[in-house]
Structure 1
Amino acid sequence: MAINETLLVTPAAMTRIDRAAVDSGLDGFALMQSAGAHVAAVAVSQFPEMRRAVVMCGPGNNGGDGHVAARLLGQSGVHVVRYGRQPGPGGDAARAFDICPGPLHPLADWQPQAGDVIIDALFGAGLDRPVSQEIAGVIERAEESGTPVIAVDLPSGLSGRTGVPTGACFTARHTVTFAALKPGHLLMPGRALCGQTHLCDIGMPARLICSDDPVWRNHPGLYREALPAASSAQHKYSRGHLVVFSGPLISGGAARLSAMAGLRSGAGLVTLATPPIAVLLQATHLTAIMQRAIKDDADLTDWLNDKRISSFVIGPGFGDLGKARSFIRLLADTGCPVVLDADAITAFASCSEKLSNLFNDKLRLVLTPHEGEFRRLFPDLADDETLSKIDRARMAAKQLNAVIVYKGADTVIAAPDGRCAVNADAPPWLATAGSGDVLGGLIGGLLAQGMPPFEAACAGVAQHGEAGTRAGANMTAEDLVMEIGKPA
């Protein structure tokens, strides 16, 4: 028996897992009893001062979990009042309802009282439509009164597939879920609406907790084996040569942050490709980073004959969108991995198909867009409200034959073959100027050392978050760079 802490399972896949468990001989009612017991335990441990457990039950199995929790809370001495709809006859939910003492009141009858704690067992993860007006009224009264909510599986009104409310939605203090997380537990704003999520083992066999279309929570198992290994025979070029392109005089700081991040990631050599007018200014800021004056296509073409160059980062503070497109065409011809960020992404906003044509040979392109950049490059995907952030990232990755690092509090990393990970461990203070430039350089440095693009992106995003945690609140991007590569 187990839980899977790294696999994200869609509500539809979870339904198949539940059905497979029962078909394999497991007692479905025993699973419901275990689920309800976990809900009751969270309620007692997190709200020992509650005066009344208000258990709101839907007609399905989620409601069945609520009836079990209500019975156990009542047996422990808690005053319990149930509201909702009675389940239909014959199933596990009906059995749980039958052995729970006390009446079931209409939802409309609930009025907040001091000391109430709501247990939301109305819908769980399966709802993908707006809740009824009756339930929306309950949600409104709960919000206005500040009544704390414990959600069973997911807050009612929240899509477990997209992490986006379908209309009115509970905001939970705690969410109790079972066997595996759903995308809605990690994707924003779902993660915030769930509060603290408790993933509980209810006796589901580990062999059944799987998916034929897996999405993962970003974790070391996705990239550990591909991390660069140290060797006594190494020299600076064998550890990779990263090139970061600098913008003009006024905006060279972004490229410096990227270059320093690439160096601290372990790359043996990092060079700034700098416009001639900015070389002297950059030189006053650089020690371990080399420079190469690159004015135009001719300068770059000449330099790209150096086969010791391993990877490129272009975009941070670059400025000139036409030159960015021209340079990227030349970089595509090298066969080396390329990271596009910031201005390099915006440069293809009106012609993304041209970008896909440049890198259609093998997987070696990584894009790191934030929400606005993603929208500029993929407006049709961004405007499709039926798609989750995972869907959008996957479709964009396939369209460009690239790894997409769709940044945010819920950064999604997607490869064109469908592999996908959601990172949810980064601290909120990473939302600061220059943080994205650091991430681009970090991924570029890992690519320079030979990591495959998807693994480099997953590792880079994870290391970026770890560095942010070590740097602490109120950090600057300069502080962030200095924490890369330090032991946890």
Structure 2
Amino acid sequence: MQRADSLAIAGGVPGPVLMENAGAAVAQAIRARWPRRPVAVLCGPGNNGGDGFVVARLLAEEGWPVRLGLLGECAALTGDAAQAAQRWTGAVEPLGPHLLDDAPLVVDALFGAGLARPLDGVARAVVEAMAGLTVVAVDVPSGVHGDTGAVLGVAPAAALTVTFFRRKPGHWLLPGRTLCGETVLADIGIPEPVLDTIAPRCRENGPALWGAHYPWPRADSHKYARGHAVVMGGGRMTGAGRLAARGALRAGAGLVTVACPPEAFAIYAAGSPSLIVEPVADDAAFAALLADPRRNAVLLGPGAGVGVHTRARVLAALDAGRACVLDADALTSFAGAPGDLLDRLGGRCVLTPHEGEFARLFDLTGDKLTRARAAAARCGAVVLLKGADTVIAAPDGRAAITINAPPELATAGAGDVLAGLILGLLAQGMDGFDAACAGAWLHGEAAAQVGPGLIAEDLPDALPAVLRRLKAG
């Protein structure tokens, strides 16, 4: 945000105008949600605090009882924040928990997205005292790291967060996202070309990111033109493979084959009549199945079992040069020697680990976004790190964060459907990053379509309604 401000100012937009617009956006959001009431505006020593002075002045001009507290001295303020403070004609009190006495509404303008150290001293005491109060955060709740969503010591739970120009990763990643409450994005006059100059590498996952590349069937399409996906089905946990295969069908793959142990053939064959079921007795038979170039995308892992058998099938699929989705047991089977897998990846491969599976393959530390990006760079494949704030990272540094996953997705088999959706999109020619992003977003939308009571079997059948809305724009 600081760079966006600087570029806007260099392009002719005065800094005080940006600050005035920011404060006005916050004041407007408050007036739109609450009737006039006493409000405590808590200002920090930087531009976030300057925004707070603007909020205080505008609310006071409309008759709101405003009490303003400042961390530091007015004489220490500089630049635009100092100008904003000079226009405030009310009292400026030292920051402290006493400011919250009898304050039904609190404006948190202490620290913005640039905060890089844990809150301490009086700032921490004031934030702790906000517990249970109605808080409006300027940019991010103070204490939330703008790049990671991590809490730096302590942070308030805001009812409303007003941010500017573009949302930050901290608005999407947990726990920051849950602390922001309702998030409003305000236009404060930063020209759109500034975004092109900054060229952000992380975005919110949604159709704006990949919709132009979605593989809708054309008038002259036929089933072979829509790809032939292969799911390696296990012999015991057969539900996982069947869920994944149905996900691939609903995602649009022209054909879907389940390659399964001969003893499980009857179970898979008794399922969806839309599936092809191939009994595969050994590794040679699996390699022969993949020799057909029309079978262009393979999913391995769901219900496959952990061990050398699964390792061999994964390496065979990679050697065949197929687009691959590797999930669950396909990842854990390489836990003892992750390099055997990671050094073989590349091209149109997507890994879909949860945090436990991720830790078995990658010895990485840091926040979720940083770790996912580092993992993708290490293995040369797309990494989709699952969770309520799923991160998709490409080897070239692009990343997307999915925020539409409802809590009902925390159910057995949901991840198998996700892997199948990505597989179906890969089979139709989407690249790995777009397929992973689209699959994750569709997964979340399908879950929201079903709502409470969701089980994994519901997800594929909820997809047509989601796809109709997506196609209609």
TM-score by length of 1: 0.92
Q: Does residue 1:57 correspond to 2:43, yes or no? A: yes
Counterpart Cα distance in 1 of 2:270 and 2:133 = 58
Aligned residue runs from structure 1 range 89-168, under 5 A: 89-110=77-98, 112-143=100-131, 146-168=132-154
Aligned to 1:223, what secondary structure does the other structure show?
Answer: helix
Q: State which of 469, 473, 480 in structure 1 corresponds to 2:448.
A: 469
Q: Does residue 1:371 correspond to 2:355, yes or no? A: yes
Counterpart Cα distance in 2 of 1:58 and 1:233 = 62
- Map Cα deviations across residues 247-298 of structure 1 (whole Å, 9 max, x no partner): 123x100110000010111111111111112112222223211111112212
- Map Cα deviations across residues 409-446 of structure 1 (whole Å, 9 max, x no partner): 11111110112111112222122211110010010011
Aligned to 2:68, what secondary structure does the other structure show?
Answer: strand
Counterpart Cα distance in 2 of 1:109 and 1:182 = 29
Match of 1:243 in 2: 230
Match of 1:7 in 2: none
Match of 1:480 in 2: 459
Counterpart Cα distance in 2 of 1:164 and 1:90 = 28
Counterpart Cα distance in 2 of 1:333 and 1:278 = 26
Match of 1:438 in 2: 417
Aligned to 1:366, what secondary structure does the other structure show?
Answer: strand
Give percent identity, aligned residues only. Answer: 46
Match of 1:6 in 2: none
CA contact (8 A) 2:137 2:180 kept: yes
- Map Cα deviations across residues 132-151 of structure 1 (whole Å, 9 max, x no partner): 221221122221xx111111
Q: Between 200-209 and 252-261, report the one with greater CA deviation.
A: 200-209
Counterpart Cα distance in 1 of 2:173 and 2:372 = 13
| AA partner of residue 338 (structure 1) | C
Match of 2:206 in 1: 219
Q: Per the alignment, do residues 480 and 95 of structure 1 end up closer, same or farther by CA in structure 2, a change over 3 Å counting?
A: same
Q: Per the alignment, do residues 89 and 468 of structure 1 end up closer, same or farther by CA in structure 2, a change over 3 Å counting?
A: closer
Match of 1:44 in 2: 31
Match of 2:437 in 1: 458
Q: Between 210-219 and 306-315, report the one with greater CA deviation.
A: 210-219
Aligned residue runs from structure 1 range 73-88, under 5 A: 73-84=59-70, 85-87=72-74, 88=76
Q: CA deviation at 1:194?
A: 0.7
Aligned to 2:412, what secondary structure does the other structure show?
Answer: coil
Q: CA deviation at 1:173?
A: 0.9
Q: Between 442-451 and 211-220, report the one with greater CA deviation.
A: 211-220
- Map Cα deviations across residues 46-78 of structure 1 (whole Å, 9 max, x no partner): 2226x3110000111110100010011111111
CA contact (8 A) 2:59 2:66 kept: yes
Q: CA deviation at 1:112?
A: 3.6
| AA partner of residue 262 (structure 1) | A
Aligned residue runs from structure 1 range 73-472, under 5 A: 73-84=59-70, 85-87=72-74, 88-110=76-98, 112-143=100-131, 146-210=132-196, 211-249=198-236, 251-360=237-346, 363-378=347-362, 380-381=363-364, 384=365, 387-472=366-451
Aligned to 1:216, what secondary structure does the other structure show?
Answer: strand
Counterpart Cα distance in 2 of 1:308 and 1:21 = 52
Q: Between 224-233 and 337-346, report the one with greater CA deviation.
A: 224-233
Match of 1:11 in 2: none
| AA partner of residue 354 (structure 2) | H
Counterpart Cα distance in 2 of 1:90 and 1:272 = 66
Match of 1:16 in 2: 3
Counterpart Cα distance in 1 of 2:225 and 2:10 = 55
Aligned to 2:90, what secondary structure does the other structure show?
Answer: coil
CA contact (8 A) 1:107 1:134 kept: yes
Aligned to 2:464, what secondary structure does the other structure show?
Answer: coil
| AA partner of residue 161 (structure 1) | D
CA contact (8 A) 1:111 1:141 kept: no
Match of 1:9 in 2: none
Counterpart Cα distance in 2 of 1:480 and 1:301 = 31
Counterpart Cα distance in 1 of 2:464 and 2:297 = 19
Q: Structure 1 stretches of 5 or more lacking a match?
A: 1-13
CA contact (8 A) 2:306 2:332 kept: no
Aligned to 1:155, what secondary structure does the other structure show?
Answer: coil
| AA partner of residue 170 (structure 1) | P
Q: CA deviation at 1:191?
A: 0.6
Q: CA deviation at 1:388?
A: 2.8
| AA partner of residue 369 (structure 1) | P
| AA partner of residue 117 (structure 1) | L
Aligned to 1:176, what secondary structure does the other structure show?
Answer: strand
Q: CA deviation at 1:42?
A: 1.7
Counterpart Cα distance in 2 of 1:291 and 1:281 = 10
CA contact (8 A) 1:404 1:413 kept: yes
Aligned to 2:244, what secondary structure does the other structure show?
Answer: helix
Aligned to 2:343, what secondary structure does the other structure show?
Answer: helix
Q: CA deviation at 1:111?
A: 5.2
Counterpart Cα distance in 1 of 2:419 and 2:135 = 39
Aligned to 2:226, what secondary structure does the other structure show?
Answer: coil
| AA partner of residue 10 (structure 2) | D
Q: Per the alignment, do residues 231 and 19 of structure 1 end up closer, same or farther by CA in structure 2, a change over 3 Å counting?
A: closer
Q: Per the alignment, do residues 89 and 420 of structure 1 end up closer, same or farther by CA in structure 2, a change over 3 Å counting?
A: closer
Q: Structure 2 stretches of 5 or more lacking a match?
A: none
| AA partner of residue 122 (structure 2) | E
Aligned to 2:320, what secondary structure does the other structure show?
Answer: coil
Counterpart Cα distance in 1 of 2:378 and 2:65 = 56
Counterpart Cα distance in 2 of 1:229 and 1:98 = 58
CA contact (8 A) 2:384 2:392 kept: yes
Q: Per the alignment, do residues 334 and 485 of structure 1 end up closer, same or farther by CA in structure 2, a change over 3 Å counting?
A: farther
